[in-house]
Structure 1
């Protein structure tokens, strides 16, 4: 499988690709650049919106617009640019990171400290009405989150652990956390993830220059090698959900590859799952 450059960019910390089926576009962010990007692969149309804070994730909303995981909390951005906080909880030294929308439309939003101190991050579940439940309060770098096709499993990454963990998931509750796969020394750190229609888990490797596909029983089945080391997240998109989009980062690289910070795509990589919109 070979990659192409979908959007050539110099994002400091590209993250969180998400296919917005209603608008026929891919949404992704540059966390440290305070930017929300959109890209329509059919027309080539792109937009860039600047946020006032570091933005960890942007996901489509059922009623239109986007939900943003921001430094000081979670906010709602309307199509006309109007913004309001859904949940505001600023903590000095902490920022938002990756987030994902569950099958029931709730947002699972992660945080981390800027210094990546162990135990300084969290994972919370937010409903469309703004109700908040703290799920994990002892996280270093909250990252990829995704669900099995039947919604009964939730996969989760706290990057410094070098693991992808899996929980039993039922009605918005998670139990029985256990290791799913562990990334070996020298292969980078697990960052973002996505789950495909076969229930396989695709994991982006920070400082690993690759995306890996694991079968539901945790067997490494495929590796897509990429030319830049800081691979951050992946998601299926395009009209048929067959193209794998991959975000990358330039931050911390002394001699970045020309595609570092760009949005990459691997055509016909597999078959993705339709992603639910946030119910808010």
Structure 2
């Protein structure tokens, strides 16, 4: 039986976006609907919670310290100077969702409508100077984004499609030649991470599992979980071998006692160091 443990006992409404902060040796994750950014140091057990003024889709470390956050009304920066907007764009009925930092240090941040209407979301690329470019503009629920170890492939999930898509990355570091890597028959693909072998681990919302796909799209591992709504996964720990999994309680009539907590699968595999946002 897979040795799933509870890393952080919590009752997050919509836990999301686990990220291993290599510089600080801690896990960063968010409760989107709770408007909270959490950190957890597995070595000491220390936890912190920061309340944001808006729903927060993701929080990632910055190269110079602090955090970049994907908020309802745009992308903001926390640092020694306090908070400032990197890019603010208010769209009624829309909120931030998952985000990822590319190998070049840019932030790729997704949005979605609260009603999950098709075409209401986007995936945008944010440069350190605040320059923004919309990469995908016909998205329902923008979710997991990640890159192959050599940076030549990008993986992406628009959850209602049930697909994990793969793109080639061109000389301008933009995705081209979209195609399907794999399709989930049970549950909806949500957040993802790419391991050192180039395999893609995907959390399945309403699927109660994390699945690992090879670069050719073959399903080669299924990690069954005790909760119905895992949301995302990331490798962490000193040697990047522990798989952390965020979970949600929202929408469940009778949540499992572990729903809303952060789970961990010790020794699941070998992850890649995640780059910090260069801004």
TM-score, with length taken from structure 2: 0.98
Equivalent residue for 1:121?
121
Hey, what's the Cα distance between the residues in 2 that align with 1:134 and 1:255? Answer: 39
Give 4+ residue runs of structure 1 displaced > 2 Å after superposition: none
Distance 2:20 2:200 in 1: 17
Unmatched 5+ residue regions in structure 1? none
Report what 2:101 is aligned to: 101
Identify the residue that residue 195 of structure 2 maps to in structure 1. 196
How far off its partner does 1:81 sit?
7.2
| Residue 21 (structure 1) aligns with | 22
Aligned residues: 277
- The alpha carbon displacement at 1:255 in A equals 0.4
Indicate the larger mover: 239-248 or 81-90.
Answer: 81-90
Q: What is the CA–CA distance in structure 2 between the aligned matches of 1:127 and 1:105, rounded to whole Å?
A: 8
Give the Å deviation of 1:172.
2.0
- Residue 175 of structure 2: aligned partner: 174
Tell me which residue corresponds to 1:54.
55
Superposition RMSD on alpha carbons, in Å? Answer: 0.7
Partner of 1:238: 237
Describe how 1:1-280 pairs up with structure 2 within 5 A.
1-78=2-79, 80=80, 82-170=82-170, 171-184=172-185, 187-280=186-279
Between the aligned partners of 1:23 and 1:155, the Cα distance in structure 2 is 27
TM-score normalised to structure 1 length: 0.98
User: Deviation digits for residues 151-202 of structure 1, max 9, x if unmatched?
Assistant: 0000000000000000001332110000010011xx1000000000000000
How far apart, CA to CA, are the structure 2 residues paired with 1:173 and 1:251? Answer: 34
Distance 2:127 2:273 in 1: 20
Instruction: Give the secondary-structure state (helix, strand or coil) at the position aligned to 2:110.
Output: strand
SS in 1 for 2:160: helix
CA–CA separation in structure 1 for the residues paired with 2:173 and 2:108 = 10
Residues 100-142 of structure 1, C-alpha deviation per residue, up to 9 Å, x if partnerless? 0000000000000000000000000000110100001000000
Give the Cα separation in 2 of the matches to 1:90 and 1:13: 22
Cα distance in 1 for partners of 2:168, 2:127 equals 19
Per-residue deviation, residues 244-277 of structure 1 (Å, max 9, x unmatched): 0000000000100000000000000000000000
